[in-house]
């Protein structure tokens, strides 16, 4: 049996594992990434690629805002196939209650230095002529961007490799130990540190971490250049995305560089199968048409599903696993892992090397859920 030795072995070559490999290799560590699929083939291939600042909590804001800045800094290096485009987000308000949320959100973002603009009904219509009449207005966040996640993951892995990292694909990790990992082909990889970045499967390798699979559907249309200019998200999305129990759909559309429109999205717990749920899909399309009626006459070219890794408090798990010195987690990013991959990687690399992270990390430490672990 062959045995190889590294400083760090990362389980998972999704965008989070890829970003971690890049950040750790940059610090001169000997890194290997192991995945049973290809690079960026898990939730990363399913994700929408909205690089978005969010404010469900101060901790979520801090990580998304920090990560978005890192994406902006990385932009000059990103190859064309990553399709990074700063198209901005408009949070669409359909009624007076949602318009009140526009003003709350504006105040929150402005106090923290994020540039935003309130749009009234006319300005919204001018910005997005294909929205239906009768909307109350919206909040434009011009700094938000979109990108194509699998190519972003490939770029990060390539850069990690240029920095000396190794990548092993087609190998299923069956066990994480104090000394490294074991793969299904019997191969062992020794490392001082193991990073579990296995996304929605992370709990299978580290029993006790509370991650639930939250299924999502997306649809992509044929090419309709100019139809949509910004990522549009209904403010009602907040009501549904906040729910930690029920199934939900919300209007969320994204312009792609190809002229295609990516239509989302749904959230379901307890749906472990990848197959498309026609009922949820119909609901999602109906919701999209309520906001943009002309979507009803467009052709869809593909529908797919993916699984978000959801934690009980909707924040990721980044850092040492309590009681296991050599194990670090980088998972639980739910619907924000494309955005927060870069911030996660910087934080993790600082933790591993004993450097000071650029933002406070306490809200993301796995130890915050230590009581949960104690129960298993």
Which positions touch ligand FAD (CB under 6 A)?
Answer: 11-17, 34-37, 41-44, 46-50, 172-173, 197-201, 205, 216, 218, 264-265, 306-308, 331, 333, 335-339
Q: Which is nearer to ligand FAD, 137 or 149 (CB)?
A: 149
Cβ proximity to ligand FAD, 137 vs 337, nearer residue: 337
Give whole-number Cα distances, 142 to 75, 87, 120, 344, in Å. Answer: 16, 7, 16, 23
Neighbours of 51 (CB within 10 A): 30
Q: For residue 78, give every residue at least 6 positions away whose Cβ sits within 8 Å of its Cβ, in sequence order, or none.
A: 84, 147, 152, 155
For the CB of residue 374, give the shortest distance to ligand FAD in the complex, in Å: 25
Min dist. Cβ of residue 259 to ligand FAD (A) = 19
Q: Which is nearer to ligand FAD, 130 or 340 (CB)?
A: 340
**What's the rounded Cα separation, in Å, for the pair 132 and 154?**
38
Least Å from the CB of residue 35 to ligand FAD: 4
The least distance separating ligand FAD from the CB of residue 309, rounded to whole angstroms, comes to 6
CB of 122 to ligand FAD, least distance (A): 28
Per the rule left: phi > 0, alpha: psi between -120 and 50, beta: everything else, 242 is: alpha
Retrieve residue 363's tokens. Answer: 């809200």
Provide the minimum distance between the beta carbon of 303 and ligand FAD in the complex, in angstroms, as a whole number.
Answer: 11
Whichever of 236 and 264 has its CB closer to ligand FAD, that residue is 264
Contact status, residue 321 vs residue 206, Cβ threshold 8 Å: yes
Q: In which order are the strands placed within the sheet that holds 260-269?
A: 117-120, 137-141, 89-93, 231-234, 248-255, 260-269, 212-223, 300-310
Nearer to ligand FAD, 137 or 256 (CB): 256
Least distance from C-beta 339 to ligand FAD, angstroms?
A: 4
Q: In the numeric block, which tokens belong to residue 185?
A: 């082909």
* CB nearer ligand FAD, residue 60 or residue 265: 265
Rounded Cα distance between 72 and 47, Å, is 19
Please identify, using beta-carbon distances, which residue of 311 and 331 lies nearer to ligand FAD: 331
Element (H, E) at 268: strand 260-269
């Amino acid at each position: 049996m062959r045995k190889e030795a590294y400083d760090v072995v990362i389980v998972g070559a999704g965008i989070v594992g890829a970003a971690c490999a890049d950040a750790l290799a940059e610090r001169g560590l000997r890194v290997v990434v192991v995945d049973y699929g290809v690079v960026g083939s898990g939730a990363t291939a399913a994700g929408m690629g909205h690089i978005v600042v969010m404010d469900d909590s101060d901790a979520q804001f801090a990580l998304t805002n920090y990560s978005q800045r890192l994406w902006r800094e990385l932009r000059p290096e990103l190859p064309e196939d990553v399709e990074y485009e700063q198209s901005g987000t408009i949070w669409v308000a359909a009624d007076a209650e949602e318009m009140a949320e526009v003003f709350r959100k504006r105040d929150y973002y402005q106090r923290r230095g994020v540039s935003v603009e309130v749009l009234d009904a006319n300005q919204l219509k001018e910005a997005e002529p294909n929205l239906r009449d009768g909307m109350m207005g919206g909040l434009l966040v011009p700094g938000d961007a979109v990108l194509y996640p699998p190519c972003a993951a490939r770029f990060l892995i390539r850069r990690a490799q240029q920095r000396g990292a190794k990548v092993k694909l087609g190998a299923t990790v069956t066990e994480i130990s104090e000394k490294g990992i074991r793969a299904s082909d019997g191969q062992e990889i020794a490392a001082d540190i193991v990073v579990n970045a296995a996304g929605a499967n992370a709990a299978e390798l580290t029993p006790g971490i509370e991650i639930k699979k939250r299924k999502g559907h997306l649809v992509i249309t044929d090419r309709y250049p100019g139809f949509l200019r910004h990522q549009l998200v209904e403010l009602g999305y907040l009501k549904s995305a906040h729910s930690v129990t029920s199934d939900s759909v919300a209007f969320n559309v994204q312009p792609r560089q190809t002229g295609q429109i990516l239509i989302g999205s749904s959230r379901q717990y307890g749906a472990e199968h990848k197959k498309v749920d026609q009922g949820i899909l119909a609901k999602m399309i109906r919701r999209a048409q309520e906001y943009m009626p002309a979507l009803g006459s467009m052709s869809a070219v593909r529908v797919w599903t993916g699984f978000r890794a959801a934690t009980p408090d909707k924040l990721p798990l980044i850092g040492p696993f309590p009681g296991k010195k050599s194990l670090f987690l980088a998972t639980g990013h739910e619907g924000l892992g494309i955005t927060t991959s870069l911030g996660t990687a910087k934080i993790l690399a600082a933790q591993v090397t004993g450097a000071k992270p650029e933002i406070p990390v306490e809200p993301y430490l796995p130890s915050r859920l230590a009581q949960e672990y104690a129960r298993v």
